[in-house]
């Protein structure tokens, strides 16, 4: 698992086994974390600089139901040794 991008206390973008996973925190009455598998279109947009993990967090947070079929349970977080490079 490789950390591609992160914003502390907000999100982490990971590459694992050929897929990109965005894990982020959702606030509200109860804070929770959500992991979503990114589509090839979303990955390409990030690689091209047309989008960012932060943009996707905002989009997904506004309508989480749109990602229900791509959510991963339990959520995915990097191991401690993967975090040392950030």
pLDDT digits (tens, 9 = 90+) for 35-51: 999 999 999 999 999 99
In a domain, 84, yes or no: no
Query: Does residue 53 lie within any of the structural domains?
Result: yes
pTM, two decimals, is 0.88
Q: What is the per-residue pLDDT across 12-35, written as a single tens digit (0 to 9) for each?
A: 999 999 999 999 999 878 889 999
> Could you tell me the residue range of the domain that residue 68 belongs to?
2-76
Torsion of CA 76, 77, 78, 84, to 10 degrees: 170
81 in a domain, yes or no? Answer: no
Residue 83 included in any domain:
no
Structural domain contains residue 34 = yes
**86 lies in some domain:** no
Cis peptide before 74 (omega within 30 of 0): yes
What is the count of structural domains for the chain? Answer: 1
- Is 82 part of any domain? no
What residues does 20 pair with on adjacent strands? 15
């Amino acid at each position: 698992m490789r950390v591609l991008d992160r914003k502390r206390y907000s999100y982490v973008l990971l590459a694992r086994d050929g897929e990109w996973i965005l894990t982020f925190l959702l606030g509200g009455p109860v804070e929770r974390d959500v992991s979503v598998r990114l589509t090839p279109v979303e990955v390409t947009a990030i690689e091209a600089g047309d989008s960012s993990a932060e943009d996707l967090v905002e989009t997904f947070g506004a309508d989480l139901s749109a990602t229900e079929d791509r959510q991963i349970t339990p959520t995915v977080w990097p191991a401690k040794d993967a975090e040392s490079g950030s």
